[in-house]
Structure 1
């Protein structure tokens, strides 16, 4: 098979499945990893696909980084329901971490009323929400670092602080989650900071509303299996729920409206 024929077959497979892994393509096409990677490089240069760790997705699926302000108004009922569920999993007196993100920001309002917590965060918005509550009952550790458009503190300073700590639970917001790409962010430095957070947590709890499904950012920071628990909302399609149920340790799907108001 000629290179362009092989690349056309790869593109067909990406369009069919939404994404592919290098390992799958080597079996499908009977060629080496290096050959597949060269093909992906060419397709990426053509703008047909976006390379992600271990494979590729369609170029049009890769999303840019929105501002914190833009994200804060989206999917509010789902984010509030997810945050309330996540808060019920926190034990007073423990050490937890909250990543940057608008769902973790919603969770911070609940955290502010739970006594005796030590809270590690790389989000100024999260730290401000907890710290500004009346009679604050928590110790807040802000990592420091370089601020991104989504209000995350990232980079070597943030990573060094996180890697010197340990926490019982990590509540992790994500820009996107995808069966091939895993958990992703549009920001390369934020991906590394999120990896650091995952490494230092005993339990990783991903909080992600259903709109994040099949969204792929530039950089991945963990496969779906990195989540011990994933909390999402009932807007997630049944097929996606089935995929996530297999991939994560435990999937929790919360309703976004009272029982009586749902059809």
Structure 2
């Protein structure tokens, strides 16, 4: 396959998914990752895409901040498997909450063509889902540039006006004691989303399981289902709390 053929396939996938991953492209096009990186660099030089850590996004989307991109691409394969499973639980017509977590962000690529409404405080989620089949409701409030998200009392009031079918939230740590976060702002937002949703799903990769962090902000029962790549045995305490665990 020559460059022009690879270029057409890369740009087609970029248009349909809103991002491309170097490793996935190499497998799909049956070529090396070195060749794909070279192709992406060439297309970036031509102004046809933005290069990111591990892939690329369309030129009509501003590049995500480096810190957020690092978090979103850490344990990327596991996060994508988690989000692929989460997307399978979403039905057309659903109203869903999405928080500003880096794992939840990776759900975007799997729901772009769904006729759903997303209510979110995450700027990367907004960027990824604009100009797609998804209808967006943007939570208003105080902008946190470091986290690329909206927080604060006005944001909490905004959420309280709505009721979602499903909420998808993240956490910085999880144990039998409950959910943990590095930030009070993010903890408050996650709680608000959970309180105004019929079902709350926690998307959590194995690196965060049984690793409490700075702030214990909610009991385990705040969520109804945990979707994770961790071994089921690591979360045996969830059954006692009535929390379902889906492993990927």
Same fold (TM over 0.5): yes
Structure 2 residue 208 is matched with structure 1 residue 209:
no
Q: TM-score, normalised by structure 2?
A: 0.69
Structure 2 residue 183 is matched with structure 1 residue 184:
no
Question: Any conservation in 1 of the 2:232–2:247 contact (CA below 8 Å)?
Answer: no
Q: CA deviation at 1:90?
A: 0.4
- The 5-angstrom pairing of residues 107-256 of structure 1 reads 107-115=107-115, 117-132=116-131, 136-144=132-140, 145-147=142-144, 149-180=146-177, 182-233=178-229, 236-237=230-231, 239-254=233-248
Equivalent-residue separation in structure 2 for 1:75 and 1:92 (angstroms): 29
Task: Classify 1:253/1:237 alpha carbon distance in 2 versus 1 (closer, same or farther; 3 Å).
Answer: closer
Equivalent-residue separation in structure 2 for 1:238 and 1:206 (angstroms): 15
Task: Classify 1:220/1:152 alpha carbon distance in 2 versus 1 (closer, same or farther; 3 Å).
Answer: farther
Q: CA deviation at 1:218?
A: 2.4
Of 201-210 and 104-113, deviating more is: 104-113
Q: CA deviation at 1:191?
A: 1.2
SS of residue matched to 1:216: coil
Q: CA deviation at 1:248?
A: 4.6
Instruction: String of CA shifts for 1:138-162, please: whole Å, max 9, x gaps.
Output: 2101113331633332111211111
Equivalent-residue separation in structure 2 for 1:196 and 1:148 (angstroms): 21
Q: Match for residue 92 of structure 1?
A: 92
* Displacement over 6 Å in runs of 4+: none
- Structure 2, unaligned runs of 5 or more: 1-65
Equivalent-residue separation in structure 1 for 2:190 and 2:203 (angstroms): 13
Larger Rg: 1
Q: TM-score, normalised by structure 1?
A: 0.65
State the aligned residue count: 182
Which structure carries more relative contact order (alpha carbon 8 Å, separation 6+)? Answer: 1
SS of residue matched to 2:118: strand
Instruction: String of CA shifts for 1:75-122, please: whole Å, max 9, x gaps.
Output: 11110000000000001011111111121111011121112x111011
Give RMSD over aligned pairs.
1.8
